[in-house]
Amino acid sequence: MTTMPSSTRLNERLATNGLRSTAQREQVYGLLLAGEDHPTAEEVFMRAKRELPEISMATVYNCLDALVKCGLLRQVNLDRSASRYCPNMAAHSHFFCEHCGRFFDIAIDPKQLTPSLPEGFHAWHSEVSIRGSCPDCPPESARNNHSSS
């Protein structure tokens, strides 16, 4: 983790990508850093509206897009559910609790993310998502709800 204020980092990242820092982008990035819950675009919109009542859903999508392009956020997709956004750019995988529906960051050795590939294949990105039950949820009921692999 960096000790630099998040706004300085944000301005620099946006600038190197030819993008301007706007109040909306700062607000959206701040919201993502404040919560550790991997919100969906809709959840970000609901939160952003409290501070910036005139912000639109399109603006929120635009902000999230810009932040993903700058490498400040990563977009997390799990099956058909809505994309979620994660401000943790360190190597990690996501654990989805099927019982309470929360997402957790799980620290993982980057080497573990890359399986041994056949000759001629080169990986530059690999993502692992894990499903199960979190420490707050009973493992048995989570297993019973699990219909297919």
Report the amino acid identity of residue 116.
Answer: S
Give 23: exposed, middle or buried? Use CB within 10 Å, 0-12, 13-18, 19+. Answer: exposed
Using an 8 Å Cβ cutoff, are 30 and 18 in contact? no
Q: Which is nearer to Zn ion, 31 or 97 (CB)?
A: 97
Identify the CA nearest to 29 among candidates 81, 58, 77, 70.
70
Q: Which stretch binds Zn ion (CB under 5 A): 4-12, 107-115, 117-125, 129-137?
A: 129-137
Give the three-state DSSP class for 106. Answer: strand
Could you give the C-alpha distances from 101 to 14, 112, 131, in angstroms and in order? 32, 25, 10
Please, what is the minimum distance in Å from the beta carbon of residue 138 to Zn ion? Answer: 9
In the numeric block, which tokens belong to residue 128?
């692992």
Q: Does 23 bind Zn ion (CB under 5 A)?
A: no
How many chain residues touch Zn ion (CB under 5 A)? Answer: 8
Please, what is the minimum distance in Å from the beta carbon of residue 99 to Zn ion? Answer: 4
Task: Return the residues of window 82-121 that contact Zn ion according to CB under 5 A.
Answer: 86, 88, 97, 99-100, 105
Q: Which is nearer to Zn ion, 68 or 134 (CB)?
A: 134
Q: Which is nearer to Zn ion, 66 or 86 (CB)?
A: 86
Q: Which is nearer to Zn ion, 52 or 137 (CB)?
A: 137
What does the alpha-carbon distance between residue 69 and residue 31 come to, in Å, rounded to a whole number? 18
Instruction: Name the residues that contact Zn ion, by CB under 5 A.
Output: 86, 88, 97, 99-100, 105, 134, 137
